[in-house]
Amino acid sequence: MALIETRSLVYWLVAKRRLNDVEGARARLGELEELDELHGYAGLLSANASWIAYRDGDLERVVETGEAALADWRSEGRTTASVFQWTALFPLLGVAVARSQLDAAREHASAMLDPLQQPLPDEIASALADAADKGHLELFSHALELARPGGYA
């Protein structure tokens, strides 16, 4: 029963995020943080904590939790990286743009566009690809704005 509860709360958190409901996501995150066992969802939990921190403007926490998510997905025992890397990479992209880190922005965009990742909506994917190709921070900012209403960024 604990696995089903955890899984339900995690995907409820993701649903709140996709609905652009920061406070609803924050509430689900709080519930998940009280659980003793996350059943392999620590990375997705950290990634969504990163999104909440991004929306709060806490760039240091974005990096801390976003990198924790990516590290969890690269950890031992994982056969593949999570297809949900966008959940951590969009907030990290936001930090890279805010800090004028073009190389990091390109790296995050390229990772999100990897065919092994969950496909992004066409308009967002095209904007990310264009930004990565042309290498302009303004284009990355545009991609982030496109991604914001759907809870990606």
* CATH at 85: 1.25.40
pLDDT at 76: 62
pLDDT digits (tens, 9 = 90+) for 46-97: 999 999 999 999 999 999 999 999 999 988 666 556 789 999 999 999 999 9
The rounded mean pLDDT for the chain is: 94
**pLDDT tens-place string over residues 2-24:** 889 899 999 999 999 999 999 99
CB-side neighbour CA atoms (13 Å) of 125: 11
Total number of domains in the chain: 1
Instruction: Map residue 20 onto helix, strand or coil.
Output: coil
Q: What percent of the chain is modeled with pLDDT above 70?
A: 95
Q: Is residue 153 part of a domain?
A: no
The Cα–Cα gap between 85 and 39 comes to 18
Judge whether 51 lies within some domain.
yes
Instruction: Report pLDDT for 94.
Output: 98
pLDDT, one tens digit per residue, over 89-121 is 999 999 999 999 999 999 999 999 999 899 999
Residue 135 backbone zone (phi > 0: left; psi -120 to 50: alpha; other: beta): left
Domain that holds residue 134: 2-147
